[in-house]
Structure 1
Amino acid sequence: MAKMSAENEIEMRICDYLRRHGRSTVQDIFKELKLEKSTVNRHLYSLQASKQVFKTVEDNKRPVWNLVESMNDEQKAKPEQIKPEMTRDAIEEKHVKDLLKSGGLKASHIASKLGQQTQSTNKLLYGLMEKGEVRKCSKSHMWTLKNDQERNGSGSDRKLTSVSGMSQTFDVIEELGDGGYGFVCKVKHKIDDKIYAVKRVEFNSEAEPEVKALARLDHPNIVRYFTCWPDSDNWMSNQETNEKSNTTGSSTDTDDTNERSASDDDVADDEDDDDDDVSDDVTLGMESLTFTESTSAAKASGQCDPTNHRTYLFIQMEFCEGGTLTSWIGERNYGGKQRIPLEIHRIFYEISSGVEYIHSNNLIHRDLKPDNILFNDGKVKIGDFGLVAAQKNPSGDPIERSKRKGTPTYMSPEQENLRNYDEKTDIFPLGLMWFEMLWKISSGMERAEIWTNLRNQKLPDQFCERYTAENKFIEKMLSVTPEDRPHAKDIRLNLETFFSLHQNSLSQKTI
C-alpha cells in the first residue's frame, strides 16, 4: 500500500504542476519536480491511459502534455483536430533520428542525451535498423542515418564509377565500407544482372596475399571469390589528396604482409564502448571486407604520389546479404530475439568447418571476430582475409611476425605479445565468439567485466551451470598455452559427437 501511495502522490504532483503551468514538456516537469525523467514519463503515460492527461506532438518538436480538464470546448467537440498522437516508441525513435541528423553518434552518447539507459537506446537503434533507417559502422561503432538513396537501395559511388573498369561492367548500388586502404561497394553486373561485392585496394605486392588466399580457398563457409583485375585512375577527391599528402612514414616490421595494427587507442575504443560489437545491418555485412592496413615499399619510396596515376586492384566477391554475426548477437542482446542453442551450435559448426579448411591450406586468418563472420542465403561465410598469413615458410620453419596485429578484443595472448605463433591463434577468438553467441550481455559495463575474466578462462558460474558441455570446450579453446587448445578439426568433431551435428544434417539453412 505504501508503494501505491507514493505512486499516487507523484501523479498528483504532476497533475498539480500541469494545472498551474498548462502545456509542458517532460523536461519542464522533471526539472521542476526534481524527479527522474523516466519516472515522469512512466507516470504521464499512466495518466494518459486513465484519460487524465493528453499530449500533442508538433513537427520536429518534443511532445507537449496537458490536463484533459484543460482541453477547450472546440477540442472536445472536434477531437480529430488534435494531431493523432504517436506511440511512445515512435516518439523516442523520432528523437533518436533528430539527434542523428547532426552526424554520427555512439549509442552511449545518444542514451546520455535522451536520459535513457544504453540498453533502451540500443533497442530503439536496432528497431530503426530493421526498418532500414539507420546503420552502424562496425569499426567506429557510430550510428548514422541512412540517406534516401541508401533506404531505396539506389544511388552510385563516384569513386568507383569514375574508373572505366567499373563503369563498363557494373552499376554501383551503394558503398558498403570505406577506409584509408580501400573500400567495398555493392554492385550489379550489367550482363548477368547478379549482385556482387567489389573491393578496391591499391595494387601493390601487399594486396596479393588476400587475393591469392581467396582464389585458392573454395569452401561453402568462406566468402566466394570470382575474379580480380587491375585498373588505373587519376581521379582523387580533395579530401583523399590531403589525407595522402599528409601521410608520412611506414612500418619497419619484418612480418608477413597485410597486417592491421592494434593500438592502445583501439583497445580503449573496444573496451569503452557501451554497445561494443552489437550490430550491423544487411549492407554493413560486407563492410568488414574493407579495412586492410598495409605498409608499402612503393609508398615509402614515393611511387604512390597522389598527383600521379595510381593502379588499383579490384576484387569481385560474393555479396553477403544476411548481415554479420555482430548483428546476430546484437539482435539477441538488445533486440529481443531468443537464443536457440541448436541454432547457435549449427552456426558455430559452420564457422569451425570454415576455419578447419583455412588451416588445412597452411593459412592463418588472424582476424576472426563477429564482424568478419557473414551470412548469405542462411549459411555462414568467413570474410576479410586482409591479415591472412602462411602458417610456416616454404622451408617449413616458423615465421617471425609482428606483435599486436589484429583486433585487440579478440586476438590471442600470443598474437598480442609474441612474434612466433601458429594456427592455434585462431582458436582463441573462436572460444570467445562461441561464448558470446550463447550468453546474453546487456551492457557495456557487464561486457567489460565478463570479457576480462573470459580471456583468463574464468566463465560466469551461471553459464557453467547452464552449459555444462560447452563451458568445458570453451575453457580449453581459451587456454593461455596454444598447445592446450584443440585444433579446428577437433572442435568440429566434438560438435558432431556432443550435439549430434554433422554437415549432412545441416543441408537446411542455418538462419
Structure 2
Amino acid sequence: MSAETQMERKIIDFLRQNGKSIALTIAKEIGLDKSTVNRHLYNLQRSNQVFNSNEKPPVWDLMEKTNGIKQTVKTPEQKSLTTTAETCEEKHVRDLLKSGGLKACQIAKDLGQPRKTVNKQLYSMMQTGKVKKCEISSLWLLEGEESNESHSQESDHRLGSVAGLSQSFDVITKLGEGGFGCVFKVKHKFDGKIYAVKKVVLTGEADSEVKALARLDHPNIVRYITCWPDSESCTSNQDRNQVSNTSGSSSCGVTFDRAGCEERNDEDDEDDDDDVDVSDVTSRMESLGSTAELASAAGPSGNLDPLNHSRMYLFIQMEFCEGGTLTTWIRVRNRMNKQRIAVEIHKIFYEIVSGVEYIHSNSLIHRDLKPDNILFGMDGKVKIGDFGLVAAQTNHSGGPVERTKRRGTLQYMSPEQENKRNYDEKTDIFPLGLIWFEMLWKLSTGMERAELLKDLRNQRFPEGFCDSYPTENKFIEKMLSFAPEDRPPAKDIKEKLEKFFSLDEDLLSQKTI
C-alpha cells in the first residue's frame, strides 16, 4: 500500500470512528498538516468516498457510514451541476493560461478567488494532464503548449550559467518567456549595469526583429544596444528538444545604433513563415547581412547541423525597464478604491501613441500591441517593446503584402489581422483603443476583463462608461471601427489628445510614474 493510500485510509478510519469533522481537527488527530489533509479529502471526494457541507470551514463525512446506511448522495442533476461548475472553473483557468505561464497567486487575483481554491483547482487539473508546473519559475502552463519547449530547455540550466550569456553577464532572473524565446534580467560583468537580454531561435523572423530595432530611435521605444548569435547543443527526447549544459561558442557581437524590444508572446498556432521578407523590413540594410546569412543557414527551425543537434540562437541586449509593464500598472489601479487620475492616464496613453506614430513613420507595423508589451523605463517614461512580429507596411514596389493570418495576441488583434491576409498600419490602432479603455475603466477580475474586451470588439461599452468618459468614448469607438479605413491614424490621435486634454509641454516632460 502506497504512502498516499495509507494517509487516505487514516482519514477514512477517523471519519468512521468520530463522524463528521473539519479538516483541521482531522489533521491534529492523525498527525498531518492541514494542507495535506485537505488535498487528500478532495481526492477522496472526487472518488465519491467523502462529501463536504457548504459551511465555512467545510464539514467532511463519509458517503456511507459504518452501519451500512448511506448518507445523502447527490442526485444525477446535482452531480451534473457540480461537473458543469468544475468544467467552468477549468475553462477559466485555461483561458488565462492561453496567453502564457502564470503563477498561482496571479491566477487567483485574475479570477477573484482565494489562493487555496485556485491551488486545489490547478493540482486537480495537473493530475488529469491538463496543466503542468515549471519548478524553476513556479509558473503554471497548459500541457502541450508551445511554451513548454522553452520551459524544458531552461530547466537544464542554472540561471547563472545560461549558454551565450555566462561570459559577459551574470543572470539575475528570467523576466518572462513565450513559445519563441525568453527574456533575462542580467548584470554586465564589466560595466556593472543591469540589462534585459532576449534569447530567440535564430530564424528569418528573429533577423527581421533585430533589423527593425536597429532603425528605431525614440524615447518611447525600448533602447536597443547590441545582439550576437550563439549555438547550443540539443538532444532529441521524443516529443521535445532539451538543451544540454554545454556552453556555446560565442560569436562576435553585432552592434547597431539604438532601439529595443522585450519579451514576445506569440499565441498563433499556425506555421512560423513570416509574411514579409527580411529585406522588406530594413530596406536591404546591407550592414546587417551577418545575421541574415546565419538565419538563412539555420533554416526555419534554427538547426544549423541536424546531425550534431546544434541549434543557433540570437541574443538581443537592450535597456532594462525597471518600472514594470502596463499590465502591472493596470492591475494595481484595479485594486485601488480611489478614482483614477485622468491626467496621468492621458499622459501615459499619449506616450504610447507617440511611440506607435514613430513606428508607423518608419513604414513598420508592430502587430502585437498589448499591456504586456508596454513598459516603463527608469525615468518613468513609456517604452514600447517586443518587436517579434514587426512587419513592413508595403513591399518594395509599394504594394500590399500577403501576410500570415492570426499572428499576435487574439484578445488584442484587429478583425482584419485575425481574418485577412492584407492589412496596413491601421491594424495597430484597434488594440490601442482596447488599451485606452483598460486604463480608464476598473475591472475587478480577469474574467470580467475577458468578457468586456470581447464586448468592446463589437463596440458594446459597459453601462456608465459613456457618461463617465464621454470624450474618450468617442475616440475609442472610432479606434475600434471594424473597417480599418474608419480608424484615425496615430498622428491624428496624438494631435487630438493634445487638443482635447490640454497635454502641454510642461506636463509631458514630467515623469509618468
TM range (shorter): 0.5 to 0.7
Compute the displacement of 1:458 (Å).
1.9
Within a 5 Å distance, the mapping from 1:52-131 to structure 2 comes to 104=104, 106-107=107-108, 111=113, 114=116
Read off the aligned partner of 2:392 and give its amino acid letter: A
Please give the secondary structure, in 2, of the residue aligned with 1:431: helix
Within a 5 Å distance, the mapping from 1:196-235 to structure 2 comes to 196-234=195-233
* Cα separation, 1, equivalents of 2:493 and 2:318: 28
- 2:319 alignment counterpart: 318
- 2:438 alignment counterpart: 436
Read off the aligned partner of 1:432 and give its amino acid letter: L
Contact (CA 8 Å) 1:298, 1:304: kept in 2 or not?
no
Deviations 1:308-342 (A, max 9, x none): 33332211101111111111111122355652111
- 2:73 alignment counterpart: none
Contact (CA 8 Å) 2:371, 2:435: kept in 1 or not?
yes
* Cα separation, 2, equivalents of 1:395 and 1:434: 35
- 2:263 alignment counterpart: none
Within a 5 Å distance, the mapping from 1:168-247 to structure 2 comes to 168-234=167-233, 236=234, 243-244=240-241
Cα separation, partners in 2 of 1:296 and 1:471, compared to 1, 3 Å: farther
- 1:58 alignment counterpart: none
- 1:161 alignment counterpart: 161
- 1:256 alignment counterpart: 276
Contact (CA 8 Å) 1:331, 1:337: kept in 2 or not?
no
Compute the displacement of 1:168 (Å).
2.3
Compute the displacement of 1:443 (Å).
2.6
Report whether the alignment pairs 1:37 with 2:38: no
* Cα separation, 2, equivalents of 1:200 and 1:222: 19
Contact (CA 8 Å) 2:416, 2:427: kept in 1 or not?
yes
- 2:498 alignment counterpart: 496
Cα separation, partners in 2 of 1:304 and 1:482, compared to 1, 3 Å: farther
Give TM-score scaled by structure 1 length.
0.61
Give TM-score scaled by structure 2 length.
0.61
* Cα separation, 2, equivalents of 1:34 and 1:304: 61
Aligned residues: 358
Read off the aligned partner of 1:433 and give its amino acid letter: I
* Cα separation, 2, equivalents of 1:349 and 1:454: 21
Cα separation, partners in 2 of 1:210 and 1:187, compared to 1, 3 Å: same
Compute the displacement of 1:300 (Å).
6.2
Contact (CA 8 Å) 1:250, 1:295: kept in 2 or not?
no
Please give the secondary structure, in 2, of the residue aligned with 1:461: coil
Cα separation, partners in 2 of 1:180 and 1:483, compared to 1, 3 Å: closer
* Cα separation, 2, equivalents of 1:252 and 1:223: 25
Report whether the alignment pairs 1:451 with 2:415: no
* Cα separation, 1, equivalents of 2:392 and 2:230: 28
- For structure 2, the 5+ residue unaligned runs are 1-20, 27-33, 42-49, 60-102, 119-135, 143-155, 243-268, 279-294
Contact (CA 8 Å) 1:358, 1:365: kept in 2 or not?
yes
Cα separation, partners in 2 of 1:458 and 1:212, compared to 1, 3 Å: same
Cα separation, partners in 2 of 1:309 and 1:449, compared to 1, 3 Å: closer
* Cα separation, 1, equivalents of 2:428 and 2:370: 10
Contact (CA 8 Å) 1:367, 1:411: kept in 2 or not?
yes
Cα separation, partners in 2 of 1:296 and 1:479, compared to 1, 3 Å: farther
* Cα separation, 1, equivalents of 2:169 and 2:302: 34
- Name the stretch that deviates more: 426-435 or 197-206: 197-206
Cα separation, partners in 2 of 1:139 and 1:211, compared to 1, 3 Å: farther
* Cα separation, 1, equivalents of 2:490 and 2:226: 28
- 1:426 alignment counterpart: 428
Contact (CA 8 Å) 1:178, 1:184: kept in 2 or not?
yes
* Cα separation, 2, equivalents of 1:229 and 1:254: 21
Please give the secondary structure, in 2, of the residue aligned with 1:244: strand
- 1:44 alignment counterpart: none
Compute the displacement of 1:198 (Å).
1.0
Compute the displacement of 1:251 (Å).
2.9
Aligned-pair identity (%):
60
Report whether the alignment pairs 1:409 with 2:411: yes
- 1:78 alignment counterpart: none
* Cα separation, 2, equivalents of 1:138 and 1:385: 25
Within a 5 Å distance, the mapping from 1:117-156 to structure 2 comes to none
Read off the aligned partner of 1:191 and give its amino acid letter: F
Read off the aligned partner of 2:276 and give its amino acid letter: D
* Cα separation, 2, equivalents of 1:344 and 1:139: 32
- Name the stretch that deviates more: 436-445 or 476-485: 436-445
- For structure 1, the 5+ residue unaligned runs are 1-19, 41-102, 117-133, 141-155, 259-293
- 1:69 alignment counterpart: none
* Cα separation, 2, equivalents of 1:232 and 1:254: 23
Contact (CA 8 Å) 1:347, 1:510: kept in 2 or not?
yes
Cα separation, partners in 2 of 1:36 and 1:306, compared to 1, 3 Å: farther
Compute the displacement of 1:109 (Å).
7.9
Cα separation, partners in 2 of 1:36 and 1:304, compared to 1, 3 Å: farther
* Cα separation, 1, equivalents of 2:297 and 2:389: 15
Contact (CA 8 Å) 1:244, 1:306: kept in 2 or not?
no
